């Protein structure tokens, strides 16, 4: 069951949507104040939520609870436009991107395989953006595998989003799909509560260089994500300041399927 909620401009989300890049120094990307002339709509699918920036024709944020793996519904073979979402707020086609970019999932299908409706919804183009193939199958995949394994230990809160930037040189899909190519994607995974609350966060560049072995290079604090995006992640203050030295280890014997 999909629920569509219209909203006026929300400063809470607009920063993720349209923050503009400032000068780069030593490879570090900095972002200026966002333009606020954007309409944000929230979509509640079964099992996950998306926030879409209609100006960008794509998502800026996603959120879901990853629960114990108790399902095995197969991933849909086809991608779909969502007929309940205004055309101006999503991409224009389901076609493959090309240029060594995948139709990359924000919320992965495998994490919602307990419900036929939910796993099908993950293949809506509202949940898809151009992701460099090496990144989608590399560092970003590692974040999904960590979620897949640790959800069997305890329920997880997963919050993530998109850093659009402004680099026309890699915006290959504006004419074909109506969408620009994001500069990066961020993700936070939260587990436990109270004194046992833990979290891990990454900002993964949308680059062919973002391979599996680089995942620890993209670790950040939640504070850094909040400062960059304007988001407020619902964790304790001490958790926001903590950054592990390495990504959470995938347990031996974990079934990542």
Q: Which CATH number is 54's domain given?
A: 3.40.570.10
d(C-alpha 217, C-alpha 200), whole Å: 13
* Number of CB atoms found within 10 A of residue 237's CB: 8
pLDDT at 37: 56
Map tokens 């509202």 to a residue. 126
Is residue 247 domain-resident?
A: no
Contacts by residues 169-174 (CB-CB < 8 Å, ≥ 24 positions apart): 172/97, 172/98, 172/99, 172/101, 172/130, 173/97, 173/99, 173/101, 173/130
Among 85, 251, 236, residue whose Cα is nearest residue 154: 251
Among 170, 206, 161, residue whose Cα is nearest residue 29: 206
pLDDT at 76: 82
Is residue 256 domain-resident?
A: no
Number of domains present in the structure of the chain:
1
pLDDT at 210: 98
Is residue 252 domain-resident?
A: no
Q: Could you tell me how far CA 225 lies from the centroid of its own chain?
A: 13
Is residue 245 domain-resident?
A: no
Is residue 214 domain-resident?
A: yes
Which domain, by its residues, includes 64?
A: 3-240
Is residue 20 domain-resident?
A: yes
pLDDT by residue for the chain (257 residues), tens only, comes to 444 443 332 332 333 333 333 333 333 333 333 344 579 999 999 999 999 999 999 999 999 999 888 777 788 889 999 999 999 999 999 999 999 999 999 999 989 988 999 999 999 999 999 999 999 999 999 999 999 999 999 999 999 999 998 889 999 999 999 999 999 999 999 999 999 999 999 999 999 999 999 999 999 999 999 999 999 999 999 999 999 999 999 998 888 77
Token pair for residue 19?
Answer: 């923050």
Is residue 14 domain-resident?
A: yes
Is residue 257 domain-resident?
A: no
pLDDT at 114: 87
pLDDT at 69: 81
pLDDT at 17: 36
Total-model pTM? 0.85
């Amino acid at each position: 069951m999909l629920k569509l909620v219209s909203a006026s401009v929300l400063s809470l989300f607009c920063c993720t949507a349209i923050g503009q890049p400032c000068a780069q120094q030593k490879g570090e990307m900095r972002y200026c104040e966002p333009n606020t002339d954007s309409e944000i709509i929230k979509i509640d699918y079964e099992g996950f939520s998306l926030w879409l920036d209609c100006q960008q024709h794509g998502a800026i944020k996603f959120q879901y609870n990853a629960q114990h793996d108790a399902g095995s519904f197969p991933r849909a073979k086809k991608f779909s436009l969502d007929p309940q979402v205004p055309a101006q707020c999503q991409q224009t086609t389901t076609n493959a991107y090309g240029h060594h970019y995948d139709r990359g999932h924000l919320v992965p299908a495998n994490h919602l395989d307990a419900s036929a409706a939910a796993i099908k919804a993950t293949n809506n183009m509202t949940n898809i953006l151009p992701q460099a193939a090496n990144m989608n199958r590399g560092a970003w995949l590692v974040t999904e595998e960590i979620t897949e394994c640790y959800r069997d230990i305890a329920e997880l809160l997963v919050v993530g989003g998109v850093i659009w930037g402004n680099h026309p040189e890699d915006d290959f899909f504006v004419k074909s799909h109506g969408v620009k190519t994001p500069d990066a994607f961020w993700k936070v995974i939260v587990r436990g509560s109270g004194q046992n609350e833990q979290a891990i966060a990454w900002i993964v560049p949308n680059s062919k260089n973002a391979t599996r072995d680089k995942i620890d290079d993209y670790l950040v604090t939640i504070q850094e994500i909040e400062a960059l995006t304007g988001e407020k992640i619902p964790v304790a203050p001490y958790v926001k300041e903590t950054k592990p030295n390495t990504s959470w280890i995938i347990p031996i014997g974990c079934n990542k399927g």
